[in-house]
Each structure stands twice: as C-alpha cells, then as structure tokens.
Chain A
Amino acid sequence: MNGPAALSEETPMTKKKESQKIVFASAKDVPLMPMSLGSMLFNKTGSWRNIRPEINLADCIQCGICWKFCPDMSIAIENEFPVFDYDFCKGCGICAEECPTKCIVMVEERK
C-alpha cells in the first residue's frame, strides 16, 4: 500500500511576478504542506521595523557574530564587512546586543 504521490516538479512554487496569484484548481495539485509560493520576494517585511541597526565600520573587528546571530538572514558579509538588508531586517536588535565592540547601534526609524 502506497502513500501520497511524491511532490511533482511541476508544482508551481514560485511566483514569477508580484501580481501573480497561485490558486490550485484541485486538491490533487496542492502540495501536502504549504510551501513557499515565492511571496517573500515581494512581501518586504522590513517595513515592520521600528528601530534599525546601524554600524560604525571603524570599530568593526569582522568577527561575523552579527551575521551568525541574525535570525532573519538579513546580514550579509560583503568585502569582509557586514551589510544589512533593510528590506527584511525587522529591527530585533540581536546583532547590536551580541556585537562585542558595540559598533552596531539601534536607532529610531523616522517616517
């Protein structure tokens, strides 16, 4: 006795553009579990942020702790220094808290 069929490679998982809405015509086309339909490419959750991290690169010792701790993968290392992705950073402040030299500070968003 077999279980559900494996996930089809053709199941649309990623929106091609923001206006595209994926609506499955039948239950048999729906994957077993909800999976990324690509909405995060357009849903820029950084707008939820009240405070933003800012970095003083002069004091940065390039330890990578902020990059490692960011729960949203919103810190990239570019040219050996951290760079914030403000499209998705929600301003949790963990990077500032963990920074050993305190060169990251959280500053109020101004709108």
Chain B
Amino acid sequence: MKKVIMGNHALSYGAMLGRAQVIAAYPITPQTQVVELLSEMCADGSLNAKFIKVESEHSAMAACIGASVAGARTFTATSAQGLALMHEMLHWASGGRHPVVLGNINRAMAPGWSIWTDQNDSLSQRDTGWMQFYCSSNQEVLDTTIQAFKVSEALYIPSMVILDAFALSHTYEVVDVPDQEKVDAYLPPFKPYARITADAPRAFNGLTGPENYMELRYKLQKDMERVADMVEATGREYEKIFGRYLSAVDPYQCDDAEIILVTSGTAGYTAHVAVEEMRRNGCKVGNLRIRMFRPFPFALVRDILGKAKKIAVVDRNISYGHHGMFAQEVKSALYGQNGGRPVFGFIAGLGGRDITPASFREVVEYTETHDKPEEDILWIGVKR
C-alpha cells in the first residue's frame, strides 16, 4: 500500500513490518517520531512488541542487548548526542554478536548545539563493529530496515540504518509499504545463536583472557568480510519479492564517466539531479552513491571508480586533522589500483548547511580544471 510518510515513520514501519519484539529507546530530536509511532503501535496492539522506556540511550542499548540475549528481535533509534552516549554499549552489542538494528538520524554533534544533519555522529562510531547503511529516500529507509534485520541476524552483527535529519527524517515522501505476509516470507523469525533461558542460565560477555579474546575479534572480522555477499544476496531476494534492489552502492551514469562523484545520504540523490543537468551540457560526470559504509564495499568501489580519470568525494563529515571519512576510504580502496589518478576530497553541508545541485557544479568545475587537488580538504560553501 502506498502511503505518504516522513522518513522517521518509514523507520517505524520498517521495525513494525520486521516484527521487532523489543523496542527500547530514549527520545531525541530529530528521532522522536520514530519511537513515538512505535510506542503507539505497541499500545494499540498493531505491533506485538514490548516497549521499554529507559532513562538514557546507554540504557536503551543495554536493554536491547539483554532482550537479544533472551532471543528477541530488537530495535532502537537515536541521533547525535544520544548515539555518542550509547558508544560503550555499541561495542557490547557487536562484540557480543547481538544483532540489534538501530535507526540513527544523522545530526551534527554539539557544540554549537545543532539539530541539523551531518554524518559525524554515526561516522564517529565506525570502528564499533556495526554495519552502517546510509539511506537517501524514505522508501530506502523502510526497505533497508527490513534488510538490516535479515543481514544482522544471519551474521550476528548489529546494523545502523542511517538517514539525514530533516532532509529525510521530517520530509514526507510516497512510500510503498509492503504487505506483512510478504515481509514475513522474506524475513523469518530471529534464531539466536545462543540464548538465556530459565532452564539454561548462562553468563554472557564475561571475562575473556588473552588466550581466547583475539579469536573472538578474528571471527567478528571474518563475518564482516561476508557482509558484502550477504547484502548482495538479500538485496536480490528483496528485489524478487518487492521489485526494489538493495545494494551496497548505487552507481549512476558511471560507465563512461570521466569524473565520478562519490556521495552518500540525501546528498547522493541531489548529486543525481546535478549529474543529469551536467550531462545535458556535455559534461561526462557520474555519481557513485555509497549506501554501505561499514563494512566498506572495497571491491565494488574499486570496480566502479577504477576507470574514472578523476574522482570527487563529497563528504558531509570531517575527521579533524585528516579529512572527509568517505574520501579516506575511497583513497584506501584505490591505493595502487587506479594508476594514481587523483581523488579530490570535498567537504560540504556540515551542520545541516544545504548541499544543492550548485554545490556539485562547483565540485565538478574545480575537479575539471585542476590536475590534482591543491589541498587535502576542498571546502564547499564555507565563508572564508
């Protein structure tokens, strides 16, 4: 059934159709409506789940981990400062292999106090062992949430489904909300790897000495390396049932492109518009929108970017003292692989400043007219 819903509610519907059994969350702008709608669904019985009110995001993740240990499919959602407060528990979820699914609304970190979008909140959590999926439309938010449960539970690795504050979270779009029976066919009930029961009590995640710890980390990494194939397989399966393919990357006009933009989130769709326009003016430009940041889809990215003369990465984030985080990954993917052709790293749109088609025209114009970047960071739209 088609509905006009905001991005936040697309997350709620994803969790509902995914039959989340335990939802624990603490409200924060701009995430609040995600759990507001879920709490209403729990109250009116349309979702058979336990909604746990908690005193902090740290507790929200702790509750999800506990519920996951008991064998429940769990969901939570947060944003920025909330995600930062969750940080310790994020490690517990991934290290303990609890496949929690978390919706994160990208919101700039304070100070200055901000409620507007950028990716520094989620990208600061990139080394926690969570998968990260960046969405560009409300449809993609809903679909990815369902896929995230499937991939997470197959490999026992938690996932973040990530969307931009306001640009998506509070923006209404037409979303095809799938039938419950079809989602049930795609997503079977959660089968925990091991669980606590009253008959077989166990302590999880306890003291692990040097003689066994490293193997746990090795196994997590080995399963991370299987995610790319799993995303491909589950994305194709989703396409078969629902007609929409969910890939780790979304290349647009890249085959013959001389310059390829690398983008993510809502800016990724703005880049599509800019590419169409520039193509009409004879500029051979393409756009690679990266949906999955962790694990980084190195093989796909190498394959698509390998032939481009120049690559322009537009980051809505910054690793202070280095540069944009997508640019880091792209450079690392292409190291020794593309004949040393240049990667330009642009930073734009921090703290919710708009990234418009004009921003991408500026990016492409700079890239066209320079053999290599003059600086590690090329700033777009900053008042200097």
Contact = CB atoms under 8 A, between A and B. Distances in A.
The A interface, classified by DSSP as helix, strand, loop or mixed, is: loop
B193 A34 contact: no
Contact of A33 (B204, B211, B218, B233): B204
Interface residues of B, number: 31
Interface stretch (A3-11, A55-63, A86-94): A3-11
Contact of A32 (B153, B191, B193, B213): B193
A3 B191 CA distance: 11
Contacts of A24: 211-212, 215
Interface in B232-256: 233
Contacts of B211: 21, 23-24
Interface string B95-133: 111100000000000000000000000000000000000
A15 B226 CA distance: 33
Nearest to A31: B194
B155 interface: yes
Nearest to B99: A3
Contacts of A34: 96, 204-208, 212-213, 216
Interface in B192-219: 193-194, 202-208, 211-213, 215-216, 218-219
A68 to B, nearest CB: 16
Contacts of A32: 97, 156, 193-194, 216, 219
Given A35-B194, A35-B202, A30 B219 contact: yes
Contact of A6 (B98, B193, B202, B206): B193
A33 B204 CA distance: 7
B202 A33 contact: no
Nearest to B213: A34
A27 B218 contact: yes
A21 B207 CA distance: 13
B66 to A, nearest CB: 13
Interface-centre pick from B98, B155, B212 (highest chain A CB count, 10 A): B212
Contacts of A35: 194, 202-206
Contacts of B219: 4, 27, 30, 32
Contacts of B95: 33
Interface string A10-48: 000100000001111011001111111101100000000
Contact of A7 (B155, B193, B215): B193
20 contacts: A1-B154, A1-B230, A3-B153, A4-B223, A7-B193, A7-B194, A21-B211, A24-B215, A32-B219, A33-B96, A33-B194, A34-B206, A34-B212, A34-B216, A35-B202, A36-B204, A37-B206, A39-B206, A39-B207, A40-B203
* Nearest 7 CB-CB pairings of A with B: A36-B203, A3-B154, A27-B215, A34-B208, A30-B215, A32-B97, A33-B96
